[in-house]
Amino acid sequence: MNRKNLLAAAVAAAMGTAWLPVMAQEAASAAGTLGTTGIDRARLTSGTQFNPQISVILDGVYYGASREVEGPAGFGDGHDHGHGHGHDHAHGLEEGFNLRETEITMSASIDNYLDGVVTLALEGSSGIEVEEAYLLTRALPAGLQIKAGRFLSDIGYINRQHPHDWLFVDRPLVSELLFGDHGLQDNGLQVSWLAPLPFFTRVGVEVLQGEEGIANYIGEGPLKEKSGPRLVTGFAKVSPNLGFNHAAQFGLSGGYADAFQQQEVHSSGRSENIDGRSWFAGVDAIYKYDAGGTYGHRNWVLQGEYYFREVDADYRNIDQADVLLDQFASRSRQDGLYVQAVYGFAPRWNAGLRAEALGLTNKSLETNSNRSNFESFDASYRYAAQVSFAPTEFSRLRLQVNLNDYAHDDGDHAHDAWEVMLQYSVSLGSHGAHQF
């Protein structure tokens, strides 16, 4: 071999060696090596370790209502409902234009053992909130996985989703009013197990600090101080094999909080205090049909959830001089559900209907007139219809109309209100595939 041919062979060998990792990465990516965090596990290099994938979601809503939207009776303990704060009930939306949430997500493979995810939410002019910041194991044996940090709980179905993943503009009432306007979101530890079965089966347990919603905690004044963690949840999800075009998932979830506290301080200095424990249980189901049409044409999604909550509490009414005025022990029991269906009636277009019932059982945490027990109220209902258009996978426009048929403290259902919302949602940068 002459010098020219020898040099060419050496260059070719060097180039081939240099491109081998890239080719291997591309092959692994094509084989579908994305993990549950949306991180490409095959591309674990020094570059991705220190340069995480970044995505930004912009979400804005124009909101209008036919009248002030008062909250459903008996649910004044959740997100300022039931006290005539109409704008609070509309998920923080004011009449007119709203920048609802700007979501920034950073994710990366840290090493061969851990992934990391951080999601920040910029909510209008109210500041920055850490929605999620957690570590996720990658290589535990026997189908085990651990998540640690701040995260959205895996209970139910919609709780894990961020607002841009929803099929409607707003969160279902039962999810918002039992768990908080962000769902069950807390600091803690999750251990899950993917069972070695011929169909998807995943079970898990979460140990959480217990801060708000189903485990609301104050821990000061006349309310007992209780160190965390204060909330334990469990979930199970099963997805049978239904063939190529059909998919379904069924779930059970529940939890127990050994501290549930509320306090209302009046202008006179008198305070009403609730101190006890709570538990909840729920079921969820979702069915998807892929018609094979272009951009979701003729696809169906059917979805529903039901939750029940019980609070075993002591009530104490104390005046400004710390004199006990009233007290009793009782149980609050409340529930709620929603069902919804979305159909792709044309390429890139879908339409959906949703029906909700809240407080079919509605012994609230509000006291009766003589402060001798918790008061019971009627059920409330809400109906919604939406039409969505997605020009690309990175943008969406959605028009939604709600009809609220809420029970109120006076027993009247005549305070119905119509709401209209026009939403835009766009995605900038890389964004991992959504979970089922």
pLDDT at 277 over 70: yes
Q: What is the number of alpha carbons within 13 Å of residue 220 lying toward its C-beta?
A: 3
Residue 123: its pLDDT value, please?
A: 79
Secondary structure class of 47 (helix, strand, coil): helix
User: How many angstroms separate the CA atoms of 140 and 72, rounded?
Assistant: 45
Which stretches does DSSP call E strand in 161-230?
185-194, 200-208
Direct distance between the N- and C-terminal alpha carbons of the chain, in angstroms, rounded to an integer:
59
Secondary structure class of 49 (helix, strand, coil): helix
User: How many angstroms separate the CA atoms of 2 and 268, rounded?
Assistant: 100
Percentage of residues in the chain with pLDDT exceeding 90? 69
Whole-model pTM: value is: 0.85
Q: Higher-confidence residue: 148 or 180?
A: 148
The widest CA-to-CA distance across the chain, in whole angstroms, is 105
Residue carrying structure tokens 């994710």: 107
**Domains by residue range for the chain, with CATH:** 59-100+132-429 (2.40.160)
Task: Name the strand (E) or helix (H) holding 57.
Answer: strand 53-65
User: How many angstroms separate the CA atoms of 233 and 213, rounded?
Assistant: 13
Secondary structure class of 187 (helix, strand, coil): strand
- Least-confidence region, from 232-246, 379-393, 422-436: 422-436
- Least-confidence region, from 39-43, 206-210, 355-359: 39-43
Find the mean pLDDT for residues 352-368.
96
pLDDT at 11 over 50: no
Backbone angles phi, psi at 269, to 5 degrees: 100, -10
Task: Cis check for the bond before 229: say yes or no (omega within 30 of 0).
Answer: yes
